[in-house]
Structure 1
Amino acid sequence: MTSLRERFTADMKEAMKAGEKAKVAAIRLISAALKEKDIEARGAGKGEATADEILGVLQKMIKQRQESIAIYDANNRPELADGERVEVAVISSYLPKQMSDDEVKAAIDKAVAETGATAVKDMGKVIGVLRAAYAGQMDFGKVSPMVKAALGG
């Protein structure tokens, strides 16, 4: 399996040849974000960003764009919102398949059993297990309330 970095480069070349300007721009944004992450890691004495860190960067980029889309829609700027939606689609194509709600609930139940969590104060342990096992496969903004509900919160 090729690494995500190699896939970004290959997809960039392919998009440039095909004249897909929006896709090229989105991949350049991803590359710039990864370079920032690598520089940050080097400053902390680490090497290049790991695959999990790259997934985290991609998820953060998607979240930022979704927030922008909401603002643009609220301010009646559909042309700007559409540009952000294109970027979200390109960035999302690099993330693993997202889990369904039923799969998320099953994963939460498994993590609760695994950690022995019984109350909301144990929520951090459960989220930690889920992040380690399912990075990039679930939206933790939506998962947190589900975990809280599972723990009786």
Structure 2
Amino acid sequence: MALLDALKADQLAARKANDRLKADLLTTLIGEATQITTEEFKRGVTEVTDEKVVATVAKFLKNTKQTLENLAAEHARLVEAGGDASKVDERAKAAETELAILSSYGPKQMTEAELRAAIDDFKAKTPDANVGAIMAHLKTNFGGQYDGKMASALAKG
């Protein structure tokens, strides 16, 4: 079953179960993943591939992680100021639920050790490779499976 079909089936199940958070999240995810840009259309792309859906899931995961970081900072600021952080905590709980939902659809993320090993292996095979070549290799072979910031830092190091 294609990933998009799985998302649609899970979205329908979430609607039937009255799970608004999951249904709304999957509706938004499906909507973004199925958009064909003008550039894609000009290249003759008319179907949504699993690769595109995975890239969209990865984008949503990244955004949700950033939201959680921002909410954690806001929580700390409110607590320090003696304010009420309950609304921030509610939003953080929803974001954590979204993160769990999204994680179930994304590819397994490489650990730092796995990423370092992949980079070291490429460097051993291509000793004169620069950071750009390393990042291109990672994107081609492990797209959506690693943290870009971490990969860049390891490639430079």
Q: Confirm or deny a common fold (TM above 0.5).
A: yes
CA–CA distance in structure 1, aligned partners of residues 128 and 100 of structure 2: 36
Structure 1, unpaired ranges of 5+: none
Measure the CA separation in 2 of the matches of 1:51 and 1:116.
33
Alpha carbons 1:126, 1:147 under 8 Å: kept: yes
Aligned residue among 114, 118, 133 for 2:125: 114
Q: TM-score, length-normalised on structure 2?
A: 0.80
Equivalent position of 1:47 in the other structure: 46
Question: Is this contact kept in 2: 1:117–1:126, CA < 8 A?
Answer: no
TM-score by length of 1: 0.82
2:76 maps to 1:65: no
Matched, 1:94 2:105: yes
Contact 1:59 / 1:136 at 8 angstroms: preserved in 2? Answer: yes
Task: Between 51-60 and 127-136, report the one with greater CA deviation.
Answer: 51-60
* Aligned residue in 2 for 1:146: 154
In structure 1, the partner of 2:34 is 35
Measure, in 2, the Cα distance between the counterparts of 1:63 and 1:113. Answer: 30
Match in the other structure for 2:82: none
> Cα RMSD over matched residues?
1.9
CA contact (8 A) 1:117 1:123 kept: no
| Cα distance in 2, alignment partners of residues 98 and 70 from structure 1 | 19
- Larger gyration radius, structure 1 or structure 2: 2
Residue 78 of structure 1 corresponds to 89
Contact preservation (8 Å) 1:55, 1:135: no
Partner of 1:7: 6
How far is 1:34 from its partner? 1.1
Q: Which runs of 5+ in 2 are unaligned?
A: 76-87
Q: How many residues align?
A: 144
**2:33–2:52 contact (8 Å) kept in structure 1:** no
Identity %: 26
- Pair 1:52–1:114, CA change in 2 (3 A): farther
- State the 1:23 CA deviation: 1.4
CA distance in 1, matches of 2:73, 2:119: 34
Task: Give the superposition deviation at 1:5.
Answer: 0.7
SS at match of 2:92: helix
Contact 1:16 1:24 in 2 (8 A): yes
Residue 58 of structure 1 contacts residue 95 of structure 1 at CA under 8 Å; is this kept in 2?
yes
Distance between the aligned counterparts of 2:113 and 2:58, measured in 1?
21
